[in-house]
Amino acid sequence: MGAALLLLAALTGPQMLFVTDDDFPFQSKLRHETGGAAVLVTVSPRGKTLDCTMIEAFGAKPIGPMICDLLRHRRFEPARLADGTPAYSRLRMLFRFELPRKDWRMMPTITLAPDLGMADQQLPPGDDGKEVAVLLAVDPQGRVVDCRPNPFETNPEVGRRVCLHSAQIAAPALMVEGKPVAYVIARKVRLSRGK
């Protein structure tokens, strides 16, 4: 695997999933319901959705499964290593659905919890409790071989600090058609001062 990795904006930035009224579950429309879901999507080097798993649903129950149904037919810009080689990727994304009517109930703001916590005794006091997104390149054996701050991260210095300890970050092997493959994944890390 290349020494550096890149993920294109389509994978690491805010996700937009365009739907029509026809995509929205009929019963949810009648009840003026909103909803969303956190999903984990596996994308091939050709940008094809290989797998979508709903991690958590919010709001109206029929809306969560609809998200994976829509994503299964969506193509993504593939992740790329520094040498330009397309790579598999795993994306944890949050989607929220509301039909545009001002009189309908609005769903409260929802966010994804961090994937993991990391203790660092040298962490400056002002960085205690901060959350940072990093991109990991993972080899077929599940070892992190590269780490970079997410290009959309507002505090890349904290991301670089996390990457210094990337060997501590667990990244399971990704199996595609029964074989382990290298991949790229974004992880959200909450920092704390170690004891």
Residue pLDDT, tens place only, 61-110? 777 788 888 888 888 888 887 678 899 999 888 887 776 655 545 555 66
The per-residue pLDDT of the chain, averaged, comes to 79
pTM over 0.85: no
Q: So where are the chain's domains?
A: 5-100+109-192
Beta strand spans in the chain (E):
5-6, 35-43, 49-59, 79-81, 86-97, 116-119, 131-138, 144-149, 174-176, 179-181, 183-192
Buried b (16+ CB within 10 A) or exposed e, 58-76: bbbebbbebbbebbeeeeb
Return the residue matching tokens 């409790």. Answer: 129
Each residue of 21-43: pLDDT tens digit? Answer: 677 777 777 887 778 888 999 99
Nearest 5°: phi and psi at 19? -130, 165
Instruction: Give the integer Cα–Cα distance in Å for 170 and 25.
Output: 37
Q: How many CA atoms lie within 13 A of 19 on its CB side?
A: 21
Q: Comparing C-alpha atoms, which of 65, 85, 84, 86 is closest to residue 75?
A: 86
pLDDT digits (tens, 9 = 90+) for 9-22: 334 344 455 566 67
How distant is the alpha carbon of residue 171 from its chain centre? 13
What is the rounded CA–CA span in Å between residue 58 and residue 56? 7
